[in-house]
Structure 1
Amino acid sequence: MIRTENYLDIYYAVGKINTSRQESEIGDIIKKINSLVLQLGSISNAFVDTTGHFLNLYLFCEKKYD
């Protein structure tokens, strides 16, 4: 039986300044998740400031065990 558990939660604040840098950093985070043999369980975001286009990005990672 395969058991799945929450392994890692990542919180990342995203704004409209330095967008390419933020995209690069998020890509690096995803690569790190893959290298740890984790699966991205879900992604959630929440707008904090709609006028400044600032939001919070949450990545929830899980690990499967045999």
Structure 2
Amino acid sequence: AQGAMSEFTQHTLRRMTRDDYERSVSNSFLVSADMAHGVHPNYSSLHDRDHRPSLLNGGVVVKTNCCNRYA
């Protein structure tokens, strides 16, 4: 698996903190700080109006995915 589906973080934390892993995970949260792509003006008809940034460099974007890959 790659990206958000990867187990890299989980495996790394297990190796670093074997004794405290379960306690650490239950008291933690992970923020995936990713970026949203803009819409090319020549191809704006290919993008859903409700699922694209309204303004480039305009602040926070909350991304969703029907397969929960980065939701």
Q: Give TM-score, length-normalised by structure 2.
A: 0.28
Q: Which has the higher strand share?
A: 1
Larger Rg: 2
Q: Which has the higher helix share?
A: 2
